[in-house]
Copies of this chain bind each other. A is one copy, B any other.
Amino acid sequence: MTIEEWAERIQAGDPRNIARAITAIESGDPASIPLLKLVFRSGRRAAVVGITGAPGAGKSTLVERLAASYRATGLRTSILAVDPTSSFTGGAILGDRVRMQRLATDTGVYIRSMATRGHWGGLASATYDAVTVLEAAGSDVVLIETVGVGQGEIEVARLAGAAVLLLVPGMGDEVQTFKAGVMEIADIFVINKSDRGGANRLEHDITSMLSVSPRQDGWQPPVVKTVSTTGEGIDALRHALDGFQSFCARTPLGKSREREKWRERLLDMARRDLFARVAGPLLGDGWVDEVVAEVMARRTDPYSAVEEMVKKGLESRG
């Protein structure tokens, strides 16, 4: 099968070839680049929603409910579960198979876990590329679920599209400590497990925080209460997401977010590409291990070692 045929089958929505493409992206297979060039040209776009929250906040269940809601209105929906854990265990714990259960019989849903053996940075980049494949394959909506609430996870959610932050009651008076860095980036707040005590208190804390530091772009992040196990509040969340997307479309926010996304991505891609071209050949020689040994023995410092290595790499090309 040629790359062109592969791209065609993806655009026809063939699950096996979509899966093959995402695996190629995940493993850094060079064949993924010409493929991505082709599928990017399909010009198809999806609404992308990034969902992040602490472990145990109920993300998976919420994401499944949300997918079902999109499906109910006829939208083709994909779920990407970004699962850095797999890099340590060698297999996706979230388990596509387990998660398929509820939505398994619906061919309009595509579910996939993403992981890489390498860095978080690589995983984020692979996730965006996977979105490109899913868009070409005709997804109307892509839900990206990230495990964890670190800066990296939130960045992925935000650059993806709408950033949804899941919180649960019971953190009590500590919502302040959740800090602006995480809180300011969320476009929509979800208080899941809102049947637990403390939901109103948490809602109040978030609302206060938002009124103290309103966003510069004019968007007022709504706070939605859900119980993902029963499906309560999912309609309200859908409504909030639709509201955000329409706000993005009619104000400069949509374009500026997209501009920011592409800027970050292009710079990141260029950094990787450059490194692969220039440093790649040196790495093959076991150069890095040698320098690591030198640095550990304090025979050189890492700053000088890196300069020398980059110089060497650039010279070997001239």
- Contact indicator A149/B149 (Cβ below 8 Å): yes
Distance between A271 CB and nearest chain B CB, rounded to angstroms:
5
Interface core residue of A86, A172, A295 (most chain B CB under 10 Å): A295
Counting CB contacts under 8 A, is A233 at the interface?
no
Distance between A190 CB and nearest chain B CB, rounded to angstroms:
16
C-alpha gap A151/B148 in the complex (Å) = 7
Segment of A65-73, A102-110, A178-186 engaged in the interface with chain B: A178-186
Counting CB contacts under 8 A, is A19 at the interface?
no
Counting CB contacts under 8 A, is A231 at the interface?
no
- Contact indicator B279/A270 (Cβ below 8 Å): yes
- Contact indicator B288/A171 (Cβ below 8 Å): no
- Contact indicator A298/B150 (Cβ below 8 Å): no
Distance between A127 CB and nearest chain B CB, rounded to angstroms:
12
Segment of A10-18, A222-230, A240-248, A300-308 engaged in the interface with chain B: A300-308
- Contact indicator B147/A148 (Cβ below 8 Å): no
- What is A's interface to B at a CB cutoff of 8 Å? 33, 36-37, 40-41, 43, 54-56, 83-89, 93, 119-121, 123, 147-155, 170-172, 174-175, 177-182, 184-185, 213, 255, 258-259, 262-263, 265-267, 269-275, 277-279, 288-289, 291-292, 295-296, 298, 301-307, 309-310, 313-314, 317-318
Given A85-B180, A148-B150: A301 in contact with B263 (beta carbons within 8 A): no
User: Which of chain B's residues has its CB closest to A154's CB?
Assistant: B150
A151: chain B residues at CB < 8 Å are 84, 120, 123, 148, 150, 152-153
User: Which of chain B's residues has its CB closest to A183's CB?
Assistant: B85
Beyond contacts A55-B177, A55-B182, A88-B185: 10 other A-B pairs, Cβ-Cβ < 8 A, are: A36-B301, A37-B304, A56-B175, A84-B151, A85-B179, A86-B181, A89-B181, A274-B314, A275-B275, A317-B318
C-alpha gap A278/B314 in the complex (Å) = 9
Distance between A182 CB and nearest chain B CB, rounded to angstroms:
7
A318: chain B residues at CB < 8 Å are 317-318
C-alpha gap A262/B299 in the complex (Å) = 14
Distance between A314 CB and nearest chain B CB, rounded to angstroms:
7
Distance between A121 CB and nearest chain B CB, rounded to angstroms:
6
- Contact indicator A303/B179 (Cβ below 8 Å): no
C-alpha gap A266/B298 in the complex (Å) = 14
Given A37-B301, A150-B151: A274 in contact with B170 (beta carbons within 8 A): no
Distance between A217 CB and nearest chain B CB, rounded to angstroms:
13
- Contact indicator A266/B153 (Cβ below 8 Å): no
Partner of A56, one of B174, B213, B272: B174
C-alpha gap A171/B307 in the complex (Å) = 47
C-alpha gap A267/B295 in the complex (Å) = 13
A171: chain B residues at CB < 8 Å are 55-56
- Contact indicator B277/A314 (Cβ below 8 Å): yes
A55: chain B residues at CB < 8 Å are 149, 171, 174, 177-179, 182
C-alpha gap A153/B120 in the complex (Å) = 10
